[in-house]
Structure 1
Amino acid sequence: MRLLTSLLATSGCLAVAWYAAEQNLPAPVDATLRAQMETAASHYSAEILRDEWGIPHVFGVTDADASFGLAYAHAEDDFATIQDVVLATRGRLATHKGWSAIKTDYLVQWMGVWDAVNSGYQQRLTPEGRAMAEAYAAGINLYAVQHPDAVARALLPVTGKDLVAGFTFKTPMFYGFDKALGELLNSEQPLELAVAGDDALSWQPRSNLPIGSQGIAVAPHRSSDGATRLLVNSHQPLTGPVAWYEASIHSDEGLDMAGSTFPGSPVIIHGHNRDVAWANTVNKPDLVDIYRLRINPENANEYRLDGEWVEFERETASMTVKFFGPLHWTFDKDVLRSKHGPVMETEHGVYALRWAGMQESRTLDFMLALNKARNLDDFEAALRLQAMPSINYVYADRAGNIAHYYNAQFPQRIEGWDWSKVLPGDRSELIWQGYRPFVQMPKTVNPVSGLVYNANNPPFQATDGDDDPHVGLFPASMGIESVYTNRALQIEALYGDSVQISPEQFETFKYDADYHPDSYQLTGLNAWLSDAHERFVDTDYAAALEDLRSWSGSFAQTDNLAALAALTLAPFQAANSAQVADTLVDEAFRTAVDDLVDAHGQHRVPFGEVNRHVRGDLSLPLSGAADTLRAVYGGELNDEGFWENRAGDSYVMFISWPEGGEVQSRAVHNFGSATLDTTSPHYADQATLFANEQLRAVYFDRAQIERQAVRRYRPQQYSDSAAGE
């Protein structure tokens, strides 16, 4: 790739670069630095209560106190990931991870993440948002100086800006910014930002791992018992920088949330307080625009715009890379910027990019407003901030309101252009400014049917009644997605058959493991099966093909053909409803049969022997597969003949307000609260519950939490004897 080649071209200055890098890396933790961090932490007072599952419940006088305690608790359980997130958003991950992270460090600087943060931190972010960010940073710093052996040399001190930068950098990735850029750089082998595994937050060849989510809300008049219900069911990698971490946070200033969050987030990302609850699902409208620039043949520093040659703005990105031992090298590369946005030079042309959220620094304000919302008006007021580049919200509250919001920063584009294609870069009217107002956002609020949902489907299918937004009201320039997932079809079918939805149905439907007959997976497979007989009739695969014709469409762990079906369907999953060549499916089918026979002696294998939930010494059978409501994403079979669950269902939470009662919730995490500590009793203590599709109580009231607490402490009172408990 041209980016990599240009970085290597700087090797003539390596010796000088190594010396400069070593001189500029922060010193290891010493007594002075520890005293500074402890002094900063002394401004906060947080108490952490851990229940029998190790889940932290954080209490503080102020919201900032609670944020400080949340950071400390999360660092106890997953400091390494938080550290990687901070280094990545600084553009310094290669100082710790080495060469694999250099493109990520360049990307952060190329995107202008820190230009946005530095210009917006004081001017655009509220004092309340800054206080939360700085308190969270203080919590990380305190844990770091108490555990100096775990600290990368480039980490300390963590600042509030680091946390704000994390939102600016990561939120566009949820709607696919990294994939759009990866396709531009390498169309034959597109890249994306890895989010799980040892190379998390580095650029990798695209995995084609389709990660979804679902949120479902039922109003009181649709519930058999008059309760309001919400399912929180985001599908994420099970480990890494966007894996869920469960906590509750409480303060005397109004924070009172239970749910889950990501490493580096000072607030709960989805869950509930006493009055409102919400679930997040990824949406992927077209929010990235690519412009092909015409370069002056006589001056490569100029591009054509409105009939004139305009000079690029020019900056320098510096990437410091760890090679071995103390040896670090620094590479410099120019970053060009046009009126459209940052510029990327490729082998097939020069392009500028513009995307939703490219200068956004207020996302933490938005998320804090959600955490402190007390009714539907408060929730919509937060959405009106337009500080989150994308993400669907499925909402419910104690008053019985339910809603779905297809939230995004929709650019104010002019009509008449196909914004999904490369645009001419010489016309300034195509350089959009600002976003469409909240009133133009697709939304479904309190539909007559009493049901709203989203499973990564278009907003025009948001309820099982007739109150969905009408597609004709939303112009093509908004770039709203059009793929209907199997999960959306199944939700409509399951819930639509129930005039009244019981508590048992609400839970049972979530764990459905079937494909809908109209899903693109089954329609594609059936079309392939219709003429596959001729190609396999006189082969060793004929019997397996006939068996596959009889498959029920279920991924229950007892189904003997689900493994064969899942492996054969892989090309359809990767294509995400696009046309798939028969030759690709033929090869997937042959490989599926061969691999199953090699590993298990036959192609008919109980699905639970192949579909496994693995954590430490545990290996548990699972139902569910890609794009089922019981979402499980594995991959190719390993040498032992099974695939390991890597993404999908992770943190699952059921929330309800009984008629006239207080909020109640139950949940389960895919593994447990101790993300990395294999010696902790909470490393895998929820894995069996998760595999068995069971839930546990969520403790929310202070008195209830105190009764269940097995450890109670303040971060400043850390002692070595408490580590790992």
Structure 2
Amino acid sequence: MAWLKRSALALVVVLVLAFVALASWEPYFAHQSEAPEYREFSAEIVRDEFGVPMIYGETDADVAYGVAIAHAEDDFSTLQDVAAMSRGRYGAIAGQDGATFDYVYHLLDARGTAMRKYYDLPEDTRALFEAYATGLNQFADEHPGEVKLANLFPLNGEDIAAGFVLRQPFFYGLGNVIGPLVAGDELRREFGPDIPGFPRDGSAPDASAPVDEAEPGGTAIHGLVLPWGEEADHLGSNAWAVSPERSGGPTTLISNSHQPLRGGVAWYELSVHSGEGWHFTGANFPGSPFPFLGHNENLGWTNTVNRPDMADIYQLEMNDDGTQYRLDGEWVDLESTTVTLPVKMGPITLPVRRTVLRSVHGPVIENDNGFFAVRYGGMDSVDQLDAYYRINKAQNLEEWQAQMARMAIPSTNFIYADREGNIAYVYNAAIPDRPELDEVQANWRGVLDGSRSDLIWEGTVDYAEIPKLINPASGWLYNSNNEPYTAAGEGSDLSPDDFSPVLGIERKQTNRSWRAYRLLSEVEGPLDLAALERIKYDTAYERRGYVADMYDQLEALDPGDDADLAEARDLMLTWDFTADNEGAADSLALLMIRDFMSAEYNNKNEGELPDVAEYLLDKRAHLMEHFGRIDPPMSELLRLRQGDVDLPLDGGSDTLRASTTWVVDDDGRLSLVHGDSFIQWVEWPRDGGRVFSRSIQPFGAATTRPDSEHYTDQMQLFVDHELKPVRFWEEDVRAAAQSTRTVTNAR
């Protein structure tokens, strides 16, 4: 028996050692960065009554250092998640879902791109990123108890750049290409006009479908789940610009971005002011030293997601053992790298080995149908880091357009306004400079012949080739994630006939777009504050697209002897096509709309659309279970929740007052997770006076600090359609200051 005891003891020792190894290996195996070379920084962080920081510094780099510390004070948790993504280590924090981001990090060669390209950026831009990394490192050193992952710090500018490389392509829908390829599914791609050899999924504007939303879900990647939904596909936005001639007063810019309310692509409001002329207020995403939208003294802009066809797929002809592919008649070695993905499971972290493939085209994905390479706009570039910085400091339309013309920012529409009364819309996209070959030779929206090097494009089209409108006769511009050919009203809009189909410009409309276009076009007088507020907070739907499909099915539905179905149908037939919390059918309609919207956003065919009877009964059952009635006030169903604060909301999925995506809480209420987020309303007075702006966030400045007074302090204002003042001018900042402190890394 002694040998048995010894064997059992040995087994226990082995298991303990294995547990210790699995619990501790990841930080030592992971990539380690060197801290930026020491440079002394100093910044002043002044917070207003809502905790929004204005960061002052002598140099732009000083300000970037202060931005990192101010943001960490409010949301260090999310900043660490983004830092882990930029190192390929998110799985060690978020488990299986995080490891999938890590797989994509390796697939897109985010680190390799940063290593190759970051040091080509101008010195002052790199100084900004090194300073930002220094601020994050300092906060981590001073708050070791908050650090989630050992050896995550120090960071440097290259790490921050890698995070940009990883996340940016998914704003224009790269996940909708990679996900199906990995799964071996049919691609559902959004296409432009019908031309021979260029198949299309969609039709003319009046019959097309929205593009900014998709149903949450996952795509399997070798046993992992790819959560493209919340981080990538659940992106939308509204934007408006109005000239002083049309407003009857100020030049007006309204920023109304729809982002997740929490997480790595949630807005963080801030203002910056340096002695080198950088003076800007707006919002950024975690991991950025500068705002992505907002305004300076003289100009401003906002963004909406666009979906040009910026990714091309090539099928490779492989040799028998899958190690080489044919290119112009020659066999070329397929690059193959084995990577280790950390997957946290309870107290241990499993090392999961995966193979990442690349060809000269780009990343390669193997599925049951073969080997497919993907080439996409903005690939192997970090120039956006410099371009965003430069447009922050642009002082007029000419300077701003000069930076936009670089085509360095891979995607997103830009709506612009300035103090001179100019308004502009730019369908910004680093669209591949594809050869306009005969459609028999190359179908850019299908699967391309990977053996032909003449199909491997380089660079982007010229700025002159993309749609843009400057100072339209209508005096107004808008975008609600729609095609660029409805932007300024009849007589001012661009024509699709003037743009090459090879550009792959989407021909899509959202219900928000139809509604905004109609409301703007119907205003006969000035588009003043009152008129614009009515439009921005409008909660109605147009009976078009998926809304019409749903209602047509309802009107044609015969419930037979099913009393429950008849009751639900009859209630829905009283719906007034609004989500304003007033109608008896609003709650049921809110639940129904989501499914039909998602079907069209995912380009489902007619036979794949939701069955109205099935969904009516399902939504009726939900309301009966949790409310005991099928007509509860929508305000009791749709909620804005954070901590102990629980408030009613209006608006629906794809209304201009956007309450787009929610989670169903245990009590059956819908808790908003995505929709109207950072809103900023900017005005340049017609008489040339100082710019003035107001803003709001759904929660508060300190989104992950429950003990902060700014965790929930904007919620009631947000629900009430109210805005707070933006403290931009120094005298206003100082007068409203609730706290002021200087931070430095001086040794």
TM-score normalised over the length of structure 2: 0.87
Query: Aligned equivalents of 1:319 and 1:583: distance in 2?
Result: 38
Bigger drift between 90-99 and 688-697 goes to 90-99
Q: Secondary structure at the match of 2:314?
A: strand
Instruction: Report matched runs for 1:292-331 at 5 Å.
Output: 292-297=315-320, 299-323=321-345, 325=347, 327-331=348-352
Q: Secondary structure at the match of 2:153?
A: coil
Taking a change above 3 Å as real, the CA distance of residues 484 and 301 of structure 1, as seen in their structure-2 partners, is: same
Residue 528 of structure 2 aligns with an amino acid whose one-letter code is S
Q: Secondary structure at the match of 2:414?
A: strand
Query: Aligned equivalents of 2:617 and 2:664: distance in 1?
Result: 14
Are positions 1:287 and 2:310 aligned together? yes
Q: Deviations over 1:526-562 (max 9, x none)?
A: 2212321x24564322122122112110100222211
Taking a change above 3 Å as real, the CA distance of residues 637 and 80 of structure 1, as seen in their structure-2 partners, is: closer
Residue 315 of structure 1 aligns with an amino acid whose one-letter code is T
Partner of residue 184, structure 1: 181
Q: Secondary structure at the match of 1:295?
A: coil
Partner of residue 139, structure 1: 135
Query: Aligned equivalents of 2:43 and 2:318: distance in 1?
Result: 57
Q: Secondary structure at the match of 1:651?
A: strand
**Please, which of 486, 505, 509 is the counterpart of residue 531 of structure 2?**
505
Partner of residue 599, structure 2: 575
- 1:95 is displaced (CA, Å) by 3.0
Query: Aligned equivalents of 1:563 and 1:135: distance in 2?
Result: 49
Q: Secondary structure at the match of 1:157?
A: coil
Taking a change above 3 Å as real, the CA distance of residues 453 and 385 of structure 1, as seen in their structure-2 partners, is: same
**Please, which of 613, 630, 645 is the counterpart of residue 603 of structure 1?**
630
**Please, which of 434, 443, 465 is the counterpart of residue 418 of structure 1?**
443
Taking a change above 3 Å as real, the CA distance of residues 435 and 195 of structure 1, as seen in their structure-2 partners, is: farther
Are positions 1:634 and 2:657 aligned together? no
Q: Deviations over 1:302-333 (max 9, x none)?
A: 112223322212333233444454x5454443
Contact 1:452 1:462 (8 Å CA) reproduced: yes
Contact 2:30 2:89 (8 Å CA) reproduced: no
Contact 1:557 1:607 (8 Å CA) reproduced: yes
Bigger drift between 541-550 and 359-368 goes to 541-550
Are positions 1:684 and 2:706 aligned together? no
Are positions 1:372 and 2:393 aligned together? yes
Partner of residue 101, structure 2: 104
Query: Aligned equivalents of 2:658 and 2:697: distance in 1?
Result: 14
Query: Aligned equivalents of 1:622 and 1:324: distance in 2?
Result: 36
Are positions 1:153 and 2:150 aligned together? yes
Contact 1:95 1:154 (8 Å CA) reproduced: no
- 1:634 is displaced (CA, Å) by 3.4
- 1:639 is displaced (CA, Å) by 3.5
Question: Identity of counterpart residues, as a percentage?
Answer: 37
Taking a change above 3 Å as real, the CA distance of residues 567 and 209 of structure 1, as seen in their structure-2 partners, is: farther
Taking a change above 3 Å as real, the CA distance of residues 277 and 205 of structure 1, as seen in their structure-2 partners, is: closer
Partner of residue 353, structure 1: 374
Are positions 1:43 and 2:71 aligned together? no
Partner of residue 452, structure 2: 427
Are positions 1:559 and 2:559 aligned together? no
Taking a change above 3 Å as real, the CA distance of residues 369 and 376 of structure 1, as seen in their structure-2 partners, is: same
Contact 2:217 2:228 (8 Å CA) reproduced: no
Aligned length: 688
- 1:47 is displaced (CA, Å) by 0.2
Query: Aligned equivalents of 1:459 and 1:323: distance in 2?
Result: 46
Residue 303 of structure 1 aligns with an amino acid whose one-letter code is Y
- 1:637 is displaced (CA, Å) by 4.3
**Please, which of 256, 262, 276 is the counterpart of residue 233 of structure 1?**
256
Contact 1:513 1:555 (8 Å CA) reproduced: yes
Q: Secondary structure at the match of 1:648?
A: strand
Q: Secondary structure at the match of 1:315?
A: strand
Residue 512 of structure 1 aligns with an amino acid whose one-letter code is D
Structure 2 unmatched runs, 5+ = 1-17, 189-213, 219-223
- 1:15 is displaced (CA, Å) by 10
Contact 2:67 2:132 (8 Å CA) reproduced: yes
Taking a change above 3 Å as real, the CA distance of residues 586 and 186 of structure 1, as seen in their structure-2 partners, is: farther
Bigger drift between 398-407 and 550-559 goes to 550-559
TM-score normalised over the length of structure 1: 0.90
Q: Secondary structure at the match of 1:646?
A: strand
- 1:19 is displaced (CA, Å) by 8.2
Taking a change above 3 Å as real, the CA distance of residues 262 and 148 of structure 1, as seen in their structure-2 partners, is: same
Query: Aligned equivalents of 2:42 and 2:155: distance in 1?
Result: 19
Contact 1:210 1:574 (8 Å CA) reproduced: no
- 1:166 is displaced (CA, Å) by 1.5
**Please, which of 571, 574, 580 is the counterpart of residue 550 of structure 1?**
574
Taking a change above 3 Å as real, the CA distance of residues 692 and 165 of structure 1, as seen in their structure-2 partners, is: same
Partner of residue 393, structure 1: 414
Q: Secondary structure at the match of 2:611?
A: helix
Partner of residue 61, structure 1: 58
Partner of residue 82, structure 1: 79
Query: Aligned equivalents of 1:202 and 1:158: distance in 2?
Result: 28
Residue 496 of structure 2 aligns with an amino acid whose one-letter code is V
Q: Secondary structure at the match of 1:436?
A: coil
**Please, which of 430, 446, 452 is the counterpart of residue 409 of structure 1?**
430
Q: Secondary structure at the match of 1:90?
A: coil
Structure 1 unmatched runs, 5+ = 1-12, 719-725
Query: Aligned equivalents of 1:469 and 1:99: distance in 2?
Result: 45
Query: Aligned equivalents of 2:727 and 2:377: distance in 1?
Result: 38
Partner of residue 210, structure 2: none
Q: Secondary structure at the match of 2:654?
A: coil
